[in-house]
Chains A and B, each alone.
Chain A
Amino acid sequence: QVQLQESGPGLVKPSQTLSLTCSVSGNSVDRGPYYWSWVRQAAGKGLQYLGRVYTGGRTDYNPSFRGRVTISLDTTKNQFSLSLRSVTAADTAMYFCVKYIDSWDAFETWGPGTMVAVS
C-alpha cells in the first residue's frame, strides 16, 4: 500500500523559497503511470492544485504559480519535491503531496499534509 509523507520547514520568511519533500513508500516514483503532485489548502479554504511531475519527469504546473514553482523527482531516494519561490503570506497553507493516477484522472493517495507558515 502506497504511503506518502511530507517534510520540510514549517516556517519560511517572505521572499524566500519554500522547499518541501515527499517520501514515498510502497511504490517507486519512477514506475507509472502516475503523477506525483502537490496540492495546498489555506486555513478554512478550498484545495489548490500547484502542479505535478510524471514518472518520466514531465511536469505540469498551475498557471497561477508558473514561474514560481518547480516539482521534481529524486528516484534515488524515492522522493519528489516542491520548490515555491518568492513566497508571501498568501502562501501560508497546509501542503499535501498526492499520488495522481493517470488512468483514473484522480488524486488517489494523499499524504497527511504539512503546515507551512510564511512570516
Chain B
Amino acid sequence: QSALTQPASVSGSPGQSITISCAGNYDDIGTYDYVSWYQQHPGKAPKLMIYEVSHRPSGVSVRFSGSKSGNVASLTILGLQADDEADYFCCSYTPTDRLVVFGAGTKVTVL
C-alpha cells in the first residue's frame, strides 16, 4: 500500500477557509470510507478531528469538515483561527490487507 500524498503546507488569513487534500489510490481512499484526520500542535500528541471521511467526534469544532471525491479526501477548515495553526495528517485503513497508512502531513499556517 502506497503512502498518502498531502501538500507540505497550506496557509490562510484569519477568517478565511482552507482545504487540505489527501490523495490515495483506488484500493484505499477510492474504495473505502476509512479516512481520518488528525491535528497535531508542536510537542503534543495528535488529536482526532474527523473519522470515516466526514464524521466529527464530540468536542471537535463544526468549523472542521471532511469529504471525499474519487481517490482524494479533503479536510476543510472554515473561519481560520490562530489556534488552527498546526500539522494535519490524513490516515487511511484498508480492510483487505488490514493496513493503516498516514499521509506525510500538512503544515497549516495562519498568516
- A106 engages B99 (CB within 8 Å): no
- A46 engages B89 (CB within 8 Å): yes
**For chain A, which range describes its interface: under 10, 10 to 19, 20 to 34, or 35 or more residues?**
20 to 34
Complex: how many Å from CA A110 to CA B39?
A: 12
Given contacts A47-B102, A49-B102, A105-B93, contact A96 B51 (CB under 8 A): no
- B100 engages A49 (CB within 8 Å): yes
- A107 engages B98 (CB within 8 Å): no
Task: For A48, list chain B residues within 8 Å (CB).
Answer: 102
- Write the A29-64 contact mask toward B (1 if CB under 8 angstroms, else 0): 000000001010000001111001000000010110
Complex: how many Å from CA A37 to CA B48?
A: 14
Is B63's beta carbon under 8 Å from chain A?
no
Task: For A106, list chain B residues within 8 Å (CB).
Answer: 36, 48, 51-52, 91
Complex: how many Å from CA A108 to CA B45?
A: 11
Complex: how many Å from CA A30 to CA B89?
A: 29
Interchain Cβ contacts within 8 Å, total number: 57
Given contacts A105-B51, A105-B52, contact A112 B45 (CB under 8 A): yes
Given contacts A46-B102, A63-B99, contact A107 B38 (CB under 8 A): yes
Pick 25 A–B contacts, CB within 8 A, sort by A.
Answer: A39-B102, A46-B102, A46-B103, A46-B104, A46-B105, A47-B46, A47-B89, A48-B102, A49-B99, A49-B101, A49-B102, A60-B98, A60-B99, A62-B99, A96-B46, A104-B36, A104-B51, A104-B52, A104-B55, A104-B57, A105-B52, A105-B93, A106-B48, A107-B46, A111-B45
Closest A-B pairs by Cβ, 9 of them: A106-B51, A106-B36, A110-B45, A105-B34, A49-B100, A104-B51, A47-B102, A46-B104, A60-B98
